[in-house]
Chains A and B, each alone.
Chain A
Amino acid sequence: MSIYIRRVSHHATSVISLIALLVFLPLFLLAIGKTVTLISKATGTAANIVIDTTSQLEPIKTDFYHAFAQGGEENNDMIASIIGDVKALKPKYIRIDHLYDYYNVVGKNGDTLTFDWTRLDAYINSIGSTGAKPVLALSYMPSVIAKDGNIINPPNNWDEWALVVQKTIEHYSGKGERNMPGVIYEVWNEPDLAQFGSWKMGGDKNYLTLYRYASIGANNAKNVNPFSLGGPSTTGLYKSWIMGLVNSGNRVNFFSWHSYLTDPKRFATDQRNIIDWLLPYPTYVLLPKFITEFGFTGAKSKGYGGTFGSAHAAAVIRQLISGGPTYLFSFQLKDGPLQSDGTGWGLITNDDNGLKKKPRYFLYNFLDAMAGTRLQLSGEGTWVTGFSSKKEDTIRLLLVNFDGNGNHAEAVPVTFANLDSGDYDLKQRFLVGRETKTTISVTEASFTTTISMPAQSVLLLELIKKN
């Protein structure tokens, strides 16, 4: 056997090395990235919940999350077929958009604008039947006044846009017409999104101009009940848009934005940010703040069909339970058609898929049990968060295990400190899950238990003193 060694030139070696580098370097970097992602997903802090049952904080608000939005996936009254189910959600407000492009409201006779409210009125009537007040996103530009007839363009004549807004407000808030108090008018919907016009804070498609003429129309409305006008209804909370409105000098009764964020803590960060921006503006800092759409992603996702969506919503509400927005609008009430794959945003499936309720539908009334005075709670973790309340002789704890990246399950130690001695009923109720009840005896002023929290679960635990 002989070994033949062929000498290769330096040039060839260099070329081979370069090719190897080009092939393997991206793979190496990809592997590093994946490893970091996996490690970061897996690392976090486990919860160790301690509730001081004698330390009472502020009253808990349970109204703010009873607000819902319905997108325009069908150009008809999407609520009509689910009025009973929506009414059971005890909605305070229901928001809709596409006012002027779906319901043939605005026409033109020569140079005169004409208004036909018949179809939109039917939709507003359905909203009213649920017990909610409407939030009307003044959108989109009526084609009869829009440049090139395009509903995401500015109007040919801004005065006509002001008139459309004026007539809308006079129709729904007018004492001589629908006579509805407390209607909220939001100027446009997601103006920064290309789909809805790519409006900017300047230039040819200036949102501030769109808003200014809406404000003029609102101010021109005669004989109307109190109503609110605001915006900018952007796809996220953006400082330039909020401060643009503040500095515009126009009528602003509220600030609104949408939040599609997987991390629930980002919702609390947004609240801190907007207050920080507005603190130097005393006449604006207290104005209502509406998150007029929220979810974990703006894209359609099967997560909305299962417990991922309900756990996310619960985790967001936990973040906003103190210092949250005036209203948090869940998007949306009903799926659009042809979404039987379960990717729709709805709390209820579409008529073509049996109007079935998804887990998120059951969350809102489930959370209402937490009404009372908030108790001091410590030891929340990366995935398991919660808040506690006391009402009369019942102490309650809401726990949420939300893992935006995987399927993290956790056994959570829970301690109720400074309890009165005696016997208690301990009830555990999972959202769309099992319910248990036991009796415990407290002798040393505290009670500790371990709760098994499956991935994407929401638990209500009640401790009721027995007489």
Chain B
Amino acid sequence: MSDDTGHDPKKSRRDMLKAIGVGAGLLLLPIGRVKADKDDKTADPDYDWEKHYWGYAVDTTKCIGCLACMRACRAENDVPAGYVRTWVERYSISADGTVRVDCAKDEMKGFEEVKDEPVKSFFVPKICNHCEKSVCNQVCPVGAAYRTKDGVVLVDTQRCIGCGYCVQACPYGSRFINPTTHTADKCTLCYHRITKGMQPACVQACPKGARIFGDLADKKSPLSILLRQRRYRLLKPEMGTHPKCYYIGLDREVI
């Protein structure tokens, strides 16, 4: 059936639908999808990331708050002033139960004396927990936040657009937007060191052995042995992030 202009609407509708169908079909063709380059090694030839699963432990009973770890991290990783990849908190709990938490204003000057009378006071060093189910990876819109096969949560600074969603998402305050590179930044567990058999800068710098780094895949590593011997806790386990940083000697008040 056609109208005065000789145009058959039913036919034109069918034609349009056909065109759409063909178009949709075209979408499923492999249009120029370049396959992943299999020769491109993602690790140095000597380092096999399948063989390791890195973890970290913090012994808060040993920390003296000297901040050698913060200084080492800043020098090692060129951390911009005003931001931290690792830090140390000081908790002071007074007799009536009030909790006071603070960080040193300046790691070159250390913690200052405070005129208070706590019944309990201790230091808690903190780093990125390199969670197994990290929220930061979940919320990155462009796939710039990822976890390597050896368990380290990293940022792809080439793809990061600097939206800051991961910074908001981290429940532990480990991430920040680097004011120089304008991308997300965080503790990398000194990936450039641990893949060469060295220890992270903070672990090496600690004079008291309050920071322990090791291979969770190796049952005989110092870290694995420590975790079998001591009682430890995770930070904010209720978040369901499965952090891989284990804290020994944590008190109830530690957030």
Real binding pair: no
The chain A residues found within 8 Å of chain B, CB to CB, are none
The chain B residues found within 8 Å of chain A, CB to CB, are none
